[in-house]
Structures are given as C-alpha cells and as structure tokens.
C-alpha cells in the first residue's frame, strides 16, 4: 500500500516511524510538506519522499492521511478536490467532520475520521476510529493498519461520539499530566526534593496504570483494596469526595466534549 501524508507534523512523524518499525517500506510513503526545513528533516530521518505541494505524485496512493491542523484543512484539501477515486482518506484532525471533508474533496466519501492521542509519539497511543458507511472492509483494515502503528485502536459506531473520544482519550493525557503535576507538588510540599517528588509521582501513575491494565478486575475494586478502613488512603479519598473532585472531573470531560462539538460547527462553516 502506498500512503501519502498531507502534513509532516509530530503525529505524522509518529505514524511514519511506527509504520517503518512494523516493516512498512519507506518507498511506499510520501509526505506533502510546504516547509523546506521539515521536508529535509523527514527525508533525513525516514528516507521517504517529501513533496513541497500536492501534485499527481501525491495523489498516486491508496491511502491519504490528513495530518494538517483543522484550521488549515479546507485550504490543504483544495488541490485534491474532485481528483480522488479509490483512495481511502484518513483524517487525524480533531473536530473536523467527515461531511465537511467530503464537501471540500468534491464529494469523496471513502473517509475515516480518527482521534489519536499524544502517547502515540512513543507508540503507546489509543485511537478512536469512525468510518463513513461507504468505506469497505479493506478500507477499514488500511485505516487500522496506519493508526495501529502507534498503539491500540477502537472503532466507534457513530461519528457524533468522536467528540466524546476527543474529550476522553484525546484530551486525556492532559488530565493525567495535571494529576501528576498535583501529586508532585504535594510531594514537594511534604519535603521531598524536586527529583524525588517527580519520580514518586510519575512512577506511581505508571505502576497503577499498568496494574489496572493487567488486572481483570474493575478499577473501583483495585481502589478499594488499597483503601484500609480508618487508614491514610481513606483519609485522602474522603477529602477528595468532600471536595467533589470526581463530579468536577466528569464536568470537565463533558466541557471538553461540548467544546469539540462547537469547534466542529465552526470549522465546517463556509
């Protein structure tokens, strides 16, 4: 399969690197990247063909991956409008709806919308995928192969749920970093050095997440097992409950989902 990336930013770099690690040939990858400095870096790093603009060479592919910023999408797709036929088009742009992408491509419908998250940069991502009904099993396989190069994938039945994917897993790493930051700051306040506080906070989160992933039991059960009656953990959790932290967290994720829908409306306006 030949793949063209429209845009050579961080996520495109991660996907290209992941594909190559899985044995995909560098000769099957092209990148359309207007910045000369980025083209030189991509070519030197991966040994792939880099093009300054979309042309017939860029369109000679089975899969077109849209890895430009949402605000740049309409302009970036203009050279492809009405010129695609068999290609599967995979968007990794947050908030950009398939109906708008189809319109900007002149009615092309073989489209997949995806939402990877930043751990994809180290091959530990999770990506939500939604396929237009016009996409066949082979197109879905191709999309899963591309996004599966940087982590796990999950197919979503309704495109409207992609804003929720963005709110949960797309924005999710920021929530985790926020918690690590808070735990680190608390550790510093208790007298640990910066290095000690950082190590304690990060390794605690890594270990707890690994345990949750490896255990067949629900995370609530794992939490209860750490919480001895009348102990230190119970005191901490009681404090969090008194401050309604869980409810505030749920509201925060709901706010992210609502903003995603708003951005989709704004991005799709003509």
**When comparing pLDDT for 1 and 248, which is higher?**
248
Lowest mean pLDDT among 61-65, 161-165, 184-188, 259-263: 259-263
Q: Where are the alpha helices (DSSP H) in the chain?
A: 10-21, 36-46, 56-59, 73-77, 98-104, 137-147, 162-165, 172-189, 194-214, 219-226, 232-242, 245-267
Cα–Cα nearest to 120, from 100, 101, 147, 82: 147
Look at residue 270 in the predicted model and tell me its pLDDT: 65
Look at residue 264 in the predicted model and tell me its pLDDT: 87
In angstroms, the Cα distances linking 137 to 59, 134, 140, 149, 158 are 22, 10, 5, 18, 17
- Those residues with Cβ within 8 angstroms of residue 115's Cβ, 6 or more apart along the chain or in another chain: 92, 94, 127, 128, 162, 165, 166, 169, 170
pLDDT tens-digit readout, 133-188: 999 999 999 999 999 999 999 999 999 999 999 999 999 999 999 999 999 999 99
- Tell me the pLDDT band of 211, cut-offs 50, 70 and 90: very high
- Tell me the pLDDT band of 95, cut-offs 50, 70 and 90: confident
What mean pLDDT do residues 238-255 have? 97
Look at residue 213 in the predicted model and tell me its pLDDT: 96
In the block, tokens 């197919």 appear at: 155
- Structural domains of the chain, ranges and CATH numbers in brackets: 3-160 (3.40.50.720), 172-261 (1.10.3730.10)
Residue 39 CA to its chain's centroid (Å): 23
d(CA 169, CA 200): 24
Residue 268 CA to its chain's centroid (Å): 20
Decide: 260 and 166 in contact? Cβ < 8 Å: yes
In angstroms, the Cα distances linking 200 to 128, 189, 211 are 31, 13, 16
d(CA 172, CA 118): 9
Look at residue 267 in the predicted model and tell me its pLDDT: 83
Average pLDDT value over all residues in the chain: 95
């Amino acid at each position: 399969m030949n793949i063209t990336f429209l845009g050579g930013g961080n996520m495109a770099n991660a996907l290209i690197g992941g594909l190559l690690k899985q044995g995909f040939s560098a000769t099957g990858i092209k990148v359309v990247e207007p910045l000369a400095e980025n083209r030189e870096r991509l070519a030197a790093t991966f040994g792939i063909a880099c093009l300054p603009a979309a042309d017939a060479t860029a369109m000679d592919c089975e899969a077109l991956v849209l890895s430009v910023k949402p605000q740049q999408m309409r302009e970036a797709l203009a050279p492809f409008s009405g010129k695609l036929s068999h290609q599967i088009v995979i968007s990794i742009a947050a908030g950009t709806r398939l109906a708008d992408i189809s319109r900007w491509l002149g009615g092309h419908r073989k489209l997949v919308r995806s939402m990877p998250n930043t751990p994809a940069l180290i091959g530990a991502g999770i990506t939500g995928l939604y396929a237009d009904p016009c996409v066949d099993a082979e197109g879905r396989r191709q999309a899963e192969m591309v996004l599966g190069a940087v982590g796990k994938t999950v197919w979503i039945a309704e495109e409207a749920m992609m804003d929720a994917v963005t709110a949960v897993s797309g924005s999710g790493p920021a929530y985790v970093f926020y918690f690590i930051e808070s735990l680190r700051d608390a550790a510093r306040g208790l007298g640990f050095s910066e290095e000690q506080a950082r190590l304690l906070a990060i390794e605690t989160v890594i270990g707890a997440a690994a345990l949750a992933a490896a255990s067949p039991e629900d995370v609530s059960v794992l939490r209860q097992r750490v919480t001895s009656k009348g102990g230190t953990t119970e005191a901490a959790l009681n404090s969090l409950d008194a401050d309604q932290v869980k409810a505030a967290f749920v509201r925060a994720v709901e706010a992210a989902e609502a903003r995603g829908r708003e951005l989709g409306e704004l991005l799709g306006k003509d």
